[in-house]
Structure 1
Amino acid sequence: MSDWVGMYDCFGDVDRVPELLRRAEREDDALVWDELGHRLCLEDDLVFPAGFAALPHLVSLAAGNQRARELAGTVVRNAAGHHGCDDLLAGCADAIAELRGLVDRHLRSRPVDYLPAFMDLLATGGQYHLSAQLGDFTDDFYHLTCPHCVTEVSIAIGDHGRYSAVRDWNLGDIDRRHLLPASPSELHGTGRWMHETAVRDGQSALATGILHLFGGAECPRCASVFRIAEEYAAANLPVLE
């Protein structure tokens, strides 16, 4: 059971969230879930202490309740924000591990909300930077700095092309260079399980995009090659203290 002492929500209330959770256990009321979402996470960006206190309760309901699973995923996705509650987050490790299993089982059913659930899975694995940015690879862009010459490079992975380029305000992406996708055998760690999960679930476009994301890009200025995912992680992976 959570200790609700001092666990305020976005309005500073300490008793409203426990009441809403009790109501959610009795009835699946959309208004209750909407209010919970507003109180736990401000504009889907910042988690309040009540969000971490509520997480184990949400996960306990998540196996049979889509709204609970989605709200739990929202809390975890935003856990890298500047909430000042790292001790509370650490105390949610068991709930996050349980949520990871629930989300993975949901993905195996190949649901219509596959991508949002996949992003929740990334967050439960601590990949907050990818969870915040990853798209369906129809029109994805990643803006990085070349580690060799510090040129700002745009990486496109989508239906309109898979390339690195220098973005010009008037001319758009210029001096395009084809990306160098990784082969499945080259993948390891996060890239490997992301790709294997997408392949397992028949998400071919996502799997192909992941190979490009974890592949190489050539800098249009100095022609050096760097690993896209590594540079993106270096620039965006949050440090939780």
Structure 2
Amino acid sequence: MVNWAEMHDCYGDVDRVPALLEQVELADNAEAWEELGYRLVLEHDLVFPASFAALPRLMCLASRSAPARELAGTILRRAAGHHGCDDLLANCADAIAEFRQLLDRHLQSRPVDYLAAFLDSLAAREEYHWSAVLGDFMDDFYHLACPSCAVEVTIVIGDHRRYSAIRDWNLGDMDRRGLRPASFDELSGTGRWMYETAVRDGHEALADGIAHLFGKAECPHCASVFSIADEYTSANRPVLR
């Protein structure tokens, strides 16, 4: 049982969120959903005790309410931040497991919000890093340091451009080297799940971008070859506190 007297929202209130949850549980109230959204997730990705206290009820509603599914996913994607609510998040483990299955069914329906639901699914798998940084590969950029010479390398994965380069802010991307996408057999873990899910759901462009992201790049400066995903993850993975 949640002690709402200890669960403040972004305004410091402890009574408004449970009242709003009761409203949306009775009826799909657009105004109540809007207020819940800005009380539970503040700009700059801040979340609060009330955000995690509300998660199980939001996830319970998610099967019949798109706003509930979207708000639960939005909160979950911010679980790697410095929110000080690890105990509340741990208490949501069973609800998150069910939510993960619900999201997978939603993805198989090939919804218009596919990428958002895909990112929510990553967060539900505790892959907060990829949930935060993965794009649609129309024109994505990833910056990392070469593990051999430490020079900054820009990785470009877009509709028509897939290369590593040294970026000069005046001259543009210099000395481009084509990326080497991972084959299916080379993928494992999260990369394999991401790729298989995108292929299963008919999102070939997303799958191809993932194969490149989990493939290899050549450093234009020293010509060493490295794993893009490994190096980008080691430099950018958020720490759950």
| Distance in 2 of aligned mates of 1:216 and 1:190 | 16
2:125 is matched by which residue type in structure 1?
A: G
1:1-241 alignment, distance < 5 Å: 1-43=1-43, 45-241=45-241
Query: Does the CA-based 8 Å contact 1:44-1:78 persist in structure 2?
Result: no
Asked if structure 1 preserves the Cα contact closer than 8 Å seen for 2:182 and 2:216, the reply is yes
CA distance in 2, matches of 1:196, 1:3: 41
Per-residue Cα deviation, 1:129-178 (whole angstroms, up to 9, x for no partner): 11111111111111111111111111000113000001101011111100
For 2:29 and 2:44, the matched residues in 1 are separated by 20
TM-score by length of 1: 0.98
User: Pairwise CA RMSD of aligned residues?
Assistant: 1.0
CA–CA distance in 2 between the matches of 1:144 and 1:163?
13
8 Å CA contact 1:44, 1:74 repeated in 2: no
Could you list the runs of 5+ residues in structure 2 that have no partner in the other structure? Answer: none
The CA distance in 2 between the partners of 1:112 and 1:135, in whole Å, is: 15
Normalising by structure 2, report the TM-score. 0.98
TM-superposition CA deviations, 1:112-141 (whole Å, max 9, x none):
110000000011111111111111111111
Per-residue Cα deviation, 1:193-232 (whole angstroms, up to 9, x for no partner): 1100000000000000000010001111111011011111
1:81-140 alpha-carbon deviations (Å, 9 max, x no partner)? 111111211111111111111111000000111000000001111111111111111111
Give the structure, 1 or 2, with the largest relative contact order (CA under 8 Å, sep 6 or more): 2
The separation in 2 between residues aligned to 1:125 and 1:233, in whole angstroms, is: 16
1:3 & 1:57 partners in 2: Cα distance? 14
- Range with greater deviation from structure 2 (62-71 or 2-11): 2-11
Structure 2 distance, partners of 1:233, 1:125, is: 16
* Long gaps (5+) in structure 1: none
CA shift in 2, pair 1:44/1:29, >3 Å: farther
Q: Which SS does the other structure have where 2:64 is aligned?
A: coil
How much identity, in percent, do the aligned residues show?
Answer: 70
CA distance in 2, matches of 1:48, 1:103: 23
Q: Give the Cα–Cα distance (whole angstroms) in 2 for the partners of residues 69 and 2 of structure 1.
A: 21
C-alpha distance in 1, partners of 2:145/2:31? 44
Segments ≥4 residues shifted beyond 3 Å: none
- Shift of residue 44 of structure 1? 5.9
Question: Which deviates more from structure 2 when the two are superposed, residues 178-187 or residues 2-11?
Answer: 2-11
CA contact (8 A) 1:182 1:215 kept: yes
1-structure distance, mates of 2:146, 2:27: 53
Greater mean alpha carbon deviation, residues 204-213 or residues 23-32: 23-32
